[in-house]
């Protein structure tokens, strides 16, 4: 058995993250944008959890988007950090809801309003193809569905695309595909 040498972590040693090595471009394969749920666990939250608890959790995790699932683990919607804002909660309170009783299900984008791209199409597309396709919808995110097996395989987010392409984005609100396309075209 080999004995390994331990040494102190020096001030010049820096943390690295996958994004620092991501060489995504507009001509990159579109599937490079997708975190395949067959390979990585999706960020999920139960639809019955209190919205205020989810807001605190997402801020702590530095997570901007979670898939919302029902008691059977099936997709019921998507929740974005901005949907949990004080303004969104106050709108519900103004409608008569008790702040502590507002659930994720009350604020999420429901399943029937979620847009999807086919996994099979993405196998033959580029990042630019995805942006061109989605720019007209103004969607901030969409799911990726394997149409043959009817499995939700991933999520594509405009904010993730901006980060991966290293586009300057100073807006606190997540960019839409239309805004990203305009930024790239400029």
Domain presence at residue 8: no
State the residue range of the domain holding 119: 18-185
Percent of the chain past pLDDT 70, that is, above it, reads 84
Tens of pLDDT, residues 39-97: 999 999 999 999 999 999 999 998 889 999 999 999 999 999 989 988 899 999 999 99
Give me the pLDDT at residue 175, please: 56
DSSP string, 155-166: EEEHHHHHHHTT
pTM: 0.77
Domain presence at residue 98: yes
Domain presence at residue 156: yes
Determine the average pLDDT of the residues in 9-17.
Answer: 80
Distances (CA, A) of 78 to 28, 82, 85, 176: 26, 12, 15, 15
Residues 6+ apart with CB under 8 A from 43: 61, 63, 65, 66, 67
Give me the pLDDT at residue 21, please: 56
CA gap 69, 52 in Å, rounded: 17
Domain presence at residue 9: no
Tens of pLDDT, residues 85-116: 888 999 999 999 999 999 999 999 999 999 99
Domain presence at residue 1: no
Residues 6+ apart with CB under 8 A from 142: 114, 115, 116, 117, 134, 155, 156
CATH of the domain at 170: 3.10.580.10
Q: Is the pLDDT of residue 181 over 70?
A: no
Q: What is the CA radius of gyration of the chain?
A: 19
CB 34 within 8 A of CB 122: yes
How many separate domains does the chain show? Answer: 1
Determine the average pLDDT of the residues in 133-146.
Answer: 82
Work out whether strand 65-69 and strand 75-80 pair parallel, antiparallel, or are unpaired: antiparallel
Q: Is the pLDDT of residue 117 over 70?
A: yes
Domain presence at residue 79: yes
């Amino acid at each position: 058995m080999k004995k390994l040498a331990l040494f102190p972590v020096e001030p010049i040693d820096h943390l690295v993250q996958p994004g620092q090595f991501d060489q995504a471009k507009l001509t990159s394969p579109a599937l490079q944008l997708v975190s395949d749920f067959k390979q990585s666990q999706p960020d999920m939250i139960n639809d019955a959890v209190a919205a205020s608890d989810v807001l605190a959790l997402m801020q702590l995790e530095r997570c901007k988007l979670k898939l919302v699932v029902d008691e059977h683990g099936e997709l019921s919607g998507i929740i974005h950090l901005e949907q949990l804002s004080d303004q969104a909660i106050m709108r519900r309170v103004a409608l008569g809801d008790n702040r502590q009783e507002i659930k994720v299900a009350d604020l999420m984008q429901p399943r029937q309003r979620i847009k999807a791209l086919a996994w099979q199409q993405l196998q033959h597309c580029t990042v630019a193809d995805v942006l061109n396709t989605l720019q007209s919808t103004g969607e901030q995110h969409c799911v990726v569905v394997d149409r043959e097996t009817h499995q939700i395989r991933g999520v594509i987010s405009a904010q993730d695309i901006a980060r991966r392409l290293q586009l300057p984005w100073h807006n606190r609100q997540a960019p839409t595909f239309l805004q990203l396309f305009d930024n790239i075209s400029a």
